[in-house]
Structure 1
């Protein structure tokens, strides 16, 4: 673990930002350049799979240039530097208007990525960072480590909880059954994220991974209008389509989904 003032790969560490599942993240700078987020895999997470995920995160995101996708700057075998966003993740947003704005910005980023042949496959509130100056900078999407590249030849993910490379509370049914992801996969996960931002919890909860599997595969989405008095029934219908079990039954774009829920809630 690095401390303020330590040097790493030409960067000076300013402070620790946090720890993820397999990495430490620091605020760092190099000479007179702007501060960056320095992500370093921890010693116990430098196995080939983790190193490959970090490489993919950098390489895929480096090819995407959008104001609401975190910019990548530099990398080594077990580290990378990326755009620093100073306001925490999307759960830090207080107002409904800001939450809907963040969802719209991420929807636009996803639609752009889909146009470039990239499906993120791990949309969740903690992968959406927000700036303190939210009005001018807004929300930024991070972590393309398990992203699917449409033209890339790779084996399907095994349909077992320990092998699903996505976050189970938000995982689209097709990810759980080993089917190829598509832009509709990100739409499903964005819909789960929207539910959490609006209701305070993801749409499905369960005591075990298999319980979450079952809910995503077989249970209808929650009807928030029955739980939150200011949510109209129209929202339930929109959510049901965005979270349809069959990918082809969902909306054509993420922006279409977010536009509709924004109209329903405002």
Structure 2
């Protein structure tokens, strides 16, 4: 399984494109549509359990419910696999110009606000889950991996809160405190992502998980020293609000945050 030409779920594998801790992603195609590549995500043998199947089902169902140009499109899924839109340009961290980075952030902010208005919180916003097509910026960035997403109308967080799946460099304080996620949770993670795209690293870095947790709970994001010249302090203030420890103090939407960030960068104080 996994060799070029082999069959999985009715799809023919062309090549491996990514390998993670729980799954392998292949470029593949369906025999009836040889010219349309798909991304075929297949769980590793050790992760073919009911819990991981439920996560895969969640990823498919939530993304399928959302119809947005900057949210990954789902096609089919089955036991231990799913087929989705193939995005061929790599991760958002490959963007080289400030204009392109802000453009990608604007697109992902719009996708997140769209999901939030439909009662879904992504819960794992980070650069690795923002993919780019080769023709970016014409087609725009794509938000992927809804495997840990949360439907705010469901009363399921209480059953999951003792062992939430998190990406620590981007995790909002409320999640670390065992509280339910909200749209503001994604905004916090988007702010961490923005800092990484603009500076090369997320706001808080540490080798020890406890240090990262403490930073998210107690520290202000470090100043973006000199990154934008005279605009730096204005940018710092925008990031600080989007990463406020209390969700109610953050911006009303992800789009508002990115708009304010773009404005602070473009219009430094006189």
State the TM-score, normalized to the length of structure 2.
Answer: 0.94
Q: Is the 8 A contact 1:55 1:77 kept in 2?
A: no
Tell me, yes or no, if the aligned pair for 2:72 and 2:85 is still in contact at 8 Å: yes
The aligned counterpart of 2:50 is: 48
Q: 1:204 to 1:102 in 2, by over 3 A?
A: same
Mark the runs of 5 or more structure 2 residues left unpaired by the alignment: none
CA distance in 2, matches of 1:219, 1:227: 20
Paired residue for 1:112?
Answer: 114
**Is the Cα–Cα contact under 8 Å of residues 9 and 81 in structure 2 kept in the other structure?**
no
Aligned-pair distance for 1:133? 0.1
Distance (whole Å) between structure 2 residues aligned to residue 229 and residue 79 of structure 1: 44
Please identify runs of 4+ aligned residues in structure 1 that moved more than 6 A: none
CA distance in 2, matches of 1:150, 1:43: 32
Per the TM alignment, residue 90 of structure 1 is displaced from its structure 2 partner at its CA by 0.5
Residue aligned with 1:86, SS: coil
Identify the residue that residue 227 of structure 2 maps to in structure 1. 228
Distance (whole Å) between structure 2 residues aligned to residue 113 and residue 127 of structure 1: 15
Task: Output aligned runs, 1:90-169, within 5 Å.
Answer: 90-156=92-158, 157-158=160-161, 163-169=163-169
Query: Does residue 190 in structure 1 map to residue 172 in structure 2?
Result: no
For the aligned residues, what is the CA RMSD?
Answer: 1.2
* Pair 1:61 & 2:63 matched: yes
Residue equivalent to 2:3: 3
Match of 1:200 in 2: 200
Shift of 1:205: 1.0
CA contact (8 A) 1:73 1:83 kept: yes
Question: Cα offset for 1:32?
Answer: 4.3
CA contact (8 A) 2:228 2:265 kept: no
Q: What does 1:20-35 align with in structure 2 at a 5 Å threshold?
A: 20-33=20-33, 34-35=36-37
How far is 1:228 from its partner?
Answer: 2.2
Post-superposition CA distance 1:83-141 (Å, at most 9, x none) = 00000010011111100000000000000000000000100000000111002111000
Once the two structures are superposed, residues 158-183 of structure 1 have per-residue CA deviations (whole angstroms, 9 ceiling, x without a partner) of: 45xxx231200000001101111110
- Mapped to 2, the partners of 1:127 and 1:197 lie a distance apart of 13
Q: Which residue of 1 aligns with 2:75?
A: 73
Partner SS, residue 35 of structure 1: strand
Distance verdict in 2 for CA 1:11–1:3, change over 3 Å: same
Q: What is the alpha-carbon distance in structure 2 between the residues aligned to residue 227 and residue 86 of structure 1? A: 34
- Distance in 2, Cα, partners of 1:149 & 1:135: 30
Cross-structure match for 1:170: 170
Structure 1, unpaired ranges of 5+: none
TM-score by length of 1: 0.96
